[in-house]
Chain A
Amino acid sequence: MGSTTLKTLLMATSILATAGFAHAADTTLTLESWRTDDLAVWQEKLIPAFEAKNPGIKVKFAPTPPTEYDAALGARFDAGSAGDIITCRPFDKSLEQFKRGNLASLNDLPGMKNFSDVAKSAWTTDDGKDTFCVPMASVIHGFIYNKDAFDKLGIAIPTTEAEFFAALDKIKADGTYIPMAMGTKDLWEAATMGYQNIGPTYWKGEEGRAKLIKGEEKLTDADWVEPYKVLLKWRDYLGDGFEAQTYPDSQNLFTLGRAAIYPAGSWEIGLFNTQAQFKMGAFPPPVKNAGDACYISDHNDIGVGLNAKSAHAEEAKKFLDWVASPEFAEIYANALPGFFSLNSTPVKMQDPLAQEFVSWREKCKPTIRSTYQILSRGTPNLENETWVESANVINGTDTPEAAAKKLQDGLDSWYKPAK
């Protein structure tokens, strides 16, 4: 008892010393996060909006740099000093914290009804019984293009695979622009911007992903090999020496106006808006045949959960409920264009490029990256292998079939689908 009193006293003095004064009735919630970049957004926009509506609750945004976040948070959980509200990494890292009893189940949070099952999938147990984080934002894949270049060459936005390659041919024949800005040096570009970007169109999004997890489909099936065959065709349209082209190289090639099409993730929007001097547009991954259903990768990236041992669980739940509200979604999505709210209520956004990306949600079926849920738990790690093999296919080191076989063999070595 004595030591707790002492701790409380010390805590109180330190709060008084740092915050100047705190109203006696106020509860302060600490929000753990790895998004150091978002400090201003939280402090200037989100937290004031919440505090205005909930007098008596103060929120303190306390980020840790991304590379240290997981380890530091784990240590704070062990020591019992973690914040009340925890920013959740998608999938296994948060699931592990839930299993250890560090994150509370949020099934009874009223705001949860605002989210689809796909949105919640990143923070739901394998059996689907418990959801432990409020989905906050996702990133969408697609292609950003140089509108000036398209206008100059008279290219319409491609909607089918054939049109897409016809457009690339035209850009290549003209010679002013590198048709596509992508490199294989950093490996993940090929996997994330390539395979996971166009793949859902071929494996039919969630349907294929669920079958893969159940073991009804294999990575060696035609639907999963085909994206690799298409990626192999990209090879001819990439810049000279793409094998040694890094991710920043690709970004620069595009924003300097030297490349016409950029296989993108929506997180690029903020940066591209400030750097590119030309008009930009975006289109979703082209479908195989005109009229086919389209699929997009709408990948859950960030959520927020409740520390199971928080002393202010009630207040924290109020905050989480607010995060689940359309109001939060609108402020957040506009402050960080490219990070899209997962809320089922459509959000009004000011940024035209971000609007274009998010509009695909209405006509295309969303899915998440195929390797993220469950399938990357073992060794060899499917996600990492996919990086290597996607680059191998484009570099010509492996054929699409050989790459798929390697991935499936690796997966088979440890993953036994539940029957």
Chain B
Amino acid sequence: MTTVAEVSIDRAEDRHRRRWHILVFLAPALLVYTAVMILPLIETLRLSLFNVKDNQSFFVGFGNFQVLFGDPRWAASFWNALRNNFVFFLIHMLVQNPIGVALAALLSVPKLRFGAFYRTAMFLPTLLSFVIVGFIWKLILSPIWGVSPFLLDLVGLKSLFSPWLGKPGSALIAVSLISVWQYVGIPMMLIYAAMLNIPEEVLEAAECDGVTGWSQFWKIKLPLILPSIGIISILTFVGNFNAFDLVYTVQGALAGPDGATDILGTLLYRTFFGFQLQIGDKSMGATIATVMFLIILSGVCLYLFAIQRRMRRYQF
């Protein structure tokens, strides 16, 4: 009897010991992640519930959120930024990702010559700094020294040119397309990898059944790369709602003209750090950051629970 009890205790201790070393190995990553991600996140969430008056911080509950959504000015700039952000996201989904898929499909054509060159060339902008991308595109689109009015002039279409970045109607689209140009390499590479993973046999079987060309793409390849497209969509969503850098370099912190390119990132920047004579407001900044966090969180949850679960996966 006693021996059995001792053995079971030994096993428990064994398990206990095993758990220790898991913890030790996890610790570095956990500590770093906690220090640079989780703590700042918690601190941001905490800060959004506080406000400062006369250098004294005090708890205001959801007061800051009430101001953000209740005050007509704050609400107007917030909704404007959110709307612009959705347009920004929509343009990426409608332009960047289909082009990415199309490019990947072209690249995976087996007889393609210079495939490696195209792949590199198209992925290159993604590796460039947003500062460089913003600067070159500002120059390309410049009405004074830009190559775009010059090239349009060469083919007699100068009348089509307009200072796109300076007009409220076109600035957001122009900035979105610059971003698309920069990041189209990412969906292209991911889809390309997914397409390479499609086994030859499946395609051969399809060919034997007479499914070739376009119908092969729609009926065989697309369903097989759908999980990758899902991942790309969610990456685009998170990236776009956290975007800031390109708009800041191309349009400045006020995201002009008339706030036409103001997205959540630039609004957060101006609020939190201040701009020119505007003194930074850490509490309202944290409030906007919290709302951004919640928007992204709900978007990701929606994807994980509503879409990814229903996605059909194929095992080969």
A residues lining the B interface (CB < 8 Å)? 91-92, 183-188, 239-246, 249, 253, 371-372, 376-377, 379-384, 387-388, 391-392, 395, 397-398, 410, 413
Q: How far is the CB of A257 from chain B (nearest CB, A)?
A: 14
**New contact pairs (8) apart from A92-B279, A245-B166, CB-CB < 8 Å:** A185-B165, A187-B257, A241-B163, A243-B165, A243-B167, A245-B144, A384-B254, A387-B276
Write out, one digit per residue, whether chain B residues 38-76 have a CB within 8 A of any chain A CB (1) or not (0): 000000000000000000000000000000000001100
User: Are B277's CB and A391's CB within 8 A?
Assistant: no
Instruction: How many A-B residue pairs have C-beta atoms within 8 angstroms? Tell me.
Output: 105
Which residues of the other chain, A, contact B252 by a CB distance below 8 angstroms? 186-187
Query: Contact: A395 with B143, CB < 8 Å?
Result: no
* Cβ A244 vs Cβ B73 within 8 A: no
What A residues does B275 contact at CB under 8 A?
381, 384
Task: Report if B308 contacts A (CB, 8 A).
Answer: no
Q: Determine how close the nearest CB of chain B comes to the CB of A196; give it in whole angstroms.
A: 13
Whether B73 contacts A242 by the Cβ 8 Å rule is no
Query: With the chains together, A381 CA to B256 CA distance in Å?
Result: 15
B 137-178 to A, binary, CB cutoff 8 A, 1 in contact else 0: 010011111000100000000000111111110000000000
Assuming the contacts A245-B163, A380-B73, A384-B277, asked whether A239 and B254 have C-beta atoms less than 8 A apart, the reply is: no
In the assembled complex, 6 residue pairs joining A and B whose CB atoms fall closer than 8 Å, in A order, are: A240-B144, A244-B143, A244-B163, A244-B166, A379-B73, A384-B275
A91 CA to B276 CA, complexed, in Å: 12
**Residue of A188, A242, A245, A379 with most partner-chain B CB within 10 A:** A379
Please, which residues of chain B bring their CB within 8 A of the CB of A388? 254, 256-259
**Is B278 interfacial (CB-CB < 8 Å)?**
yes
Question: B160-211: which have CB < 8 Å to A?
Answer: 161-168
List 5 tightest A-B contacts by C-beta distance, closest first.
A241-B143, A243-B166, A244-B163, A244-B166, A241-B163
B: number of interface residues (CB 8 Å): 31
Chain A residues in 8 Å Cβ range of B167 = 243-244, 395
Q: Which of A242, A382, A387 contacts B254 (CB 8 A)?
A: A387
Which among B138, B162, B254 is the interface contact of A241 at CB below 8 angstroms? B162
Whether A184 and B143, one on each chain, are in contact in the complex, defined by CB atoms closer than 8 angstroms, is no
Chain A residues with Cβ below 8 Å from B245 are none
Q: How far is the CB of A335 from chain B (nearest CB, A)?
A: 27
Find the B residue at minimum CB distance from A258.
B144
Q: Which residues of B contact A377 (CB under 8 A)?
A: 279
B277 proximity list for chain A (CB < 8 A): 91-92, 371-372, 376, 381-384
CB nearest neighbor in B for A99:
B55
Q: In the complex, what distance in Å separates the CA atom of A397 from the CA atom of B169?
A: 10
Query: Footprint of A on B, CB under 8 Å?
Result: 73-74, 138, 141-145, 149, 161-168, 252, 254, 256-259, 270, 275-279, 281, 284
Question: Does B144 contact A239, Cβ atoms closer than 8 Å?
Answer: yes
Q: Is the CB of A253 within 8 A of B144?
A: yes
How long is the Cα–Cα vector from A362 to B148 in the complex, in angstroms? 48
How far apart sit A413 and B77, CA to CA, in the bound complex (Å)?
15
Q: Are A397 and B254 in contact (CB under 8 A)?
A: no
Main secondary structure of the interface of B (DSSP, over half): loop
Complex: A383 Cα to B278 Cα, angstroms:
8
Complex Cα gap A186–B256 (Å): 8
Q: Which residues of B contact A397 (CB under 8 A)?
A: 168, 257-258
Q: Tell me, rounded to whole Å, the shortest Cβ–Cβ distance linking A96 to chain B.
A: 8
* Given A242-B163, A245-B143, A395-B167, A381-B257 contact (CB < 8 Å): no
Interface contact B254-A184, CB-CB below 8 Å: no
Instruction: State A241–B163 Cα separation when bound (angstroms).
Output: 5
B276 A184 Cβ-Cβ under 8 A? no
Partner of A392, one of B74, B161, B258, B278: B258
Give Cα distance in the complex from A392 to B149, angstroms: 24
- Chain A residues whose C-beta falls within 8 Å of the C-beta of B138 in the assembled complex: 246
Residue contact A185 to B166, C-beta cutoff 8 Å: yes
Which A residues are in CB contact (< 8 Å) with B256?
185, 187, 387-388, 391
Kindly list chain B residues whose C-beta atoms are within 8 Å of the C-beta of A242.
143, 163, 166
A397–B259 Cα distance when bound, in Å, is 12
B253, closest chain A residue (CB): A384
A410 to B167, CA, bound (A): 24
* Chain A residues whose C-beta falls within 8 Å of the C-beta of B73 in the assembled complex: 379-380, 410, 413
Roughly how many angstroms separate A398 CA and B168 CA in the complex, as a whole number? 11
Q: How far is the CA of A244 from the CA of B74 in the complex (A)?
A: 27
A256 to chain B, nearest CB (A): 10
B144 contact from A184, A187, A241, A395, Cβ within 8 A: A241
Contact B162 A187, beta carbon cutoff 8 Å: no
Q: Which residue of B lies closest to A250 (CB)?
A: B144
The closest CB in chain A to the CB of B259 belongs to A388
Contact status of A249 and B142, CB under 8 A, knowing A92-B277, A392-B257:
yes
Residue of B nearest to A377 (CB): B279
Tell me the bound Cα distance from A104 to B120 in angstroms. Answer: 61
Evaluate contact between A391 and B144: CB separation under 8 angstroms: no
Given known pairs A372-B277, A388-B259, the reply for A244 and B254 (CB within 8 Å) is: no
Q: Which residues from chain B contact A398 at a C-beta distance below 8 Å?
A: 258
Complex: A387 Cα to B255 Cα, angstroms: 11
Most buried by A among B258, B259, B281, B284: B258
Chain B contacts for A187, CB-based, 8 A: 252, 254, 256-257
Closest-CB distance, A346 to chain B (whole angstroms): 31
Q: Are A249 and B144 in contact (CB under 8 A)?
A: yes
Partner of A244, one of B141, B259, B270: B141
Q: Which residues of B contact A379 (CB under 8 A)?
A: 73-74, 278, 281, 284
